[in-house]
Chain A
Amino acid sequence: MKPPESAPRTVIPIAVSKDTSPISPPEGASPVLVSLYEAHQKIYPRSVSGRFARLRWAMVFFTQLLFYGLPWLHWGERQAVLFDLAARRFYIFKLVLYPQDFIYLTGLLVISALSLFLFTAVAGRLWCGYACPQTVYTEIFMWIERKTEGDRIAHMRRDEGPWNWDKLWRKSLKQVLWLAVGLWTGFTFVGYFTPIHVLAGEVAQWSFGSWEIFWVLFYGFATYGNAGYMREQVCMHMCPYARFQSAMFDKDTLIVGYDQARGEPRGSRSRKADPAQLALGACIDCNLCVHVCPTGIDIREGLQYECIGCGACADVCDEVMDKMDYPRGLVKYSTQNAIQNGWSGSEIFRRVLRARVLLYTVILWLIIGIVGFGLLARPPFKVDVERDRKSLARELPGGVIENVFRLQIMNVTESELRVHVQVDGLPGLKVVSDEDLSVAPAQSRWFVLRLQLPPGQATPGSHPIHFEIDGQDDTTVLKEKAVFMVPH
């Protein structure tokens, strides 16, 4: 579909500019010397209610139930989700992952990145507004702050006012609650790496290891500092996403937008006044959209990198429009094209199916398919065959040639595994082992295997052979290549 607007596109030629004079400032401007840094201005976002706020709280509950709850679940004898760094085993429900399975983590990261690209192309910063831990914890911490120190106006007045008993107990209570949430978060986080029941027992007896206490405090402090104090500064000055989102946005990306054509000229008016008579737009200039903004911007100035797409301004403006008896949606989730051209929802929806989105979707599902299939078809054990370090070959009395191999079996199931090994590639080659080839659940073990070749079956030199390792009670047979040496 052709864009309705057919203005000629300005092309910037990629060439060295002949103009080497300094870039001149606009007419009538005078330069002033200012500092590149400024004291941080604290933002007091007003509380907001509405559909997007409800959606965000739903996401807060969902993500936090998941995060706080997951380590307490059991799977058989063990914790359902546990990353045992010391033993290098990573348990995720039925899965037992080894460091050799790192490729799945790579897959997960690629899937996450592509999902981010896809969601961003379709709906802008949904992640930032609803699911990012920074938003989620800030939401929780701001809720605590409002409960103790009051909403925007009360909080600002109290902060400006003198220290008194009222201010002291409110601030103290807030700190206690913040620290509690922070420490609980740190504790939960460490509970993914140290079994959380063990950790809870250690906390109860006040006897945990120094590294555990360090990480609990570290993550506790990070939560407290980021959600309590840093807040929007994390998004504005630390997170790279705000800076590269412009590469993934286009004019059909869903953003929080202000309908300038409808809203301007803005101005206050009585509820009963007819804006048409006053020559005013729908915006009553109440500034509530600025007051609720967690990053302190004015959405009416258009899309800005600070905007995390949380929709707080849309919620509060809808409320105001309802009070004024104007139609909702002066500030809304829409696309740049839709706002400019006054498109309907179905028009926006049609634009979702554009090349960029389809490409992201196809690649994303392809990789999900590959990683998913890889996980489903994962054999119940891994195998490594190595020639013994010592001797190439030895000749036994009677001329039998013997090569020694070391066989590593990694059992990725949680039941005892017994394997059967055979070799192929040379006539009469057989496996001799004194050991019972069984591996305990989720353990890895090395075995020593001797391969014996009857005399005269092969010329001196190296001969490719392969091992077939059979999981016995399973249908899995893994093949490993190796080389058999016959001495001169």
Chain B
Amino acid sequence: MSDFTSNFWTVYISVITLVGMVACLVLLWVTGKTHVMSSDDSTGHVWDEDLREMNNPLPRWWVWMFVISVVFGFAYLALYPGLGSHAGQLGWTSLGEYRAEVSKAEADEAPLYAKFSAMTPEALSRDPQAKLVGERLFMNNCAQCHGSDARGSKGFPNLSDGDWLYGGSPDKIKETITLGRIGQMPAMAAAVGTPAEAKNVANYVLSLSGSPHDSLRAALGKSKFTVCAACHGADGKGNQALGAPNLSDNTWLHGYGENAIVAMVNHGKVNQMPAQSGLLTQAQIHVLTGYVWGFSNK
């Protein structure tokens, strides 16, 4: 009980509890007798003219039940935590019970995960049982960002469209889940130049995917795109080794349109996928890999 800096509260609560329990027994003993009238076996109390209180003794086993529950109370407090900082003779803790339950559940699941671990992610994505397990893992660990339908939203990638920042092979997916990713788009305002030039680049980027754009600005922006090409490639198709997005498809993770692109060019962005290795077991990640791979490989 590190919450308490002094022993005072332990003593305080223990004394109240133990004295209270003893007091219960004393009370039981003291109140165990009553006066009754020799004439009619009533207590002599009369209400409402003729309503008498009779002496109807309880069977004695009731008293023993009470004594037993007090004894049980003492035994319980000796064995389990309850009296202040006293940890109890059995050493029981809620954390210990939780861990025991978790390890039991893990032991129960072990054969299932052993079976899954022996399968390829491709096979897992077709296995109905693995899909059910994968669905639960996904809903509990991934859906918070990627959405229940895995289609993500602004800033959170869609996992079902076959467009991958870091690669869509099972190995790459597993790597992403296990270690996480930190995507970095540096602020390029200085490299691109004036705000007008940033707009030109944005229009050129729009043109790469055939999106509506100002073709004059796009033509002007083409030369400035060389600073972007270092990561996104000369043709703007991105680089999965760096996690640089393909700009020539119609997937816009951080927003669509000129304004969104200008903001990204000027300010950059750091976007993070947290590592799951400490949260999920290797076997769980393996099942998830198959499940996630299955979204874009039906």
Contact = CB atoms under 8 A, between A and B. Distances in A.
Interface of A: 10, 12, 23-26, 28-40, 233, 237, 388-391, 394-395, 397, 402, 404, 406, 446, 448, 450
Given A29-B39, A40-B60, A389 B143 contact: yes
Contacts of B151: 394, 402, 404, 450
A304 to B, nearest CB: 11
B256 A397 contact: yes
B250 A390 contact: no
Contacts of A388: 143, 147-149
Interface of B: 31-40, 44-49, 55, 57-63, 139, 143-149, 151-154, 156, 250-252, 256
A33 B35 contact: yes
Nearest to A30: B38
Contact of B57 (A38, A391, A397): A38
A37 B146 contact: no
29 contacts: A23-B46, A25-B44, A26-B39, A29-B44, A31-B37, A32-B35, A32-B37, A32-B38, A34-B34, A34-B55, A35-B33, A35-B57, A36-B31, A36-B58, A37-B60, A38-B58, A237-B62, A390-B147, A390-B153, A391-B153, A391-B154, A394-B153, A395-B154, A397-B252, A404-B147, A404-B148, A404-B149, A448-B149, A450-B151
Nearest to B154: A394
Nearest to A406: B148
A36 B149 contact: no
B147 A37 contact: no
A324 to B, nearest CB: 33
Contacts of A404: 147-149, 151
B59 A390 contact: no
Contacts of A31: 35-38, 44
Contacts of A389: 143-144, 148
Nearest to B53: A23
A38 B59 contact: yes
Q: Which of A12, A35, A237 has the most C-beta atoms of chain B within 10 angstroms of its own C-beta?
A: A35
A390 B60 contact: no
Contact of A34 (B33, B45, B46, B47): B33
B25 to A, nearest CB: 14
A226 to B, nearest CB: 13
A25 B147 CA distance: 80
Nearest to A32: B38
Contacts of A29: 37-40, 44
Contacts of A34: 33-36, 55, 57
Given A26-B39, A30-B38, A233 B31 contact: no
B49 A10 contact: yes
A390 B146 contact: yes
B148 A37 contact: no
Given A25-B44, A394-B154, A33 B33 contact: yes
A29 B146 CA distance: 86
B39 A37 contact: no
A29 B52 CA distance: 14
A388 B31 CA distance: 62
Closest 8 CB pairs of A and B: A25-B44, A391-B153, A29-B37, A31-B35, A38-B57, A40-B59, A29-B39, A448-B149
Max count, chain A CB within 10 A of own CB: residue among B33, B55, B58, B63: B58
B145 A26 contact: no
Listed residue (A30, A36, A39) with the most chain B CB atoms within 10 angstroms of its CB: A36
B44 to A, nearest CB: 3
Contacts of B144: 389-390
Contact of B32 (A30, A37, A395, A406): A37
Given A34-B34, A36-B31, 16 more contacts: A12-B48, A23-B47, A30-B39, A31-B44, A37-B57, A38-B58, A39-B60, A40-B59, A40-B61, A237-B62, A390-B145, A390-B147, A397-B252, A402-B151, A448-B149, A450-B149
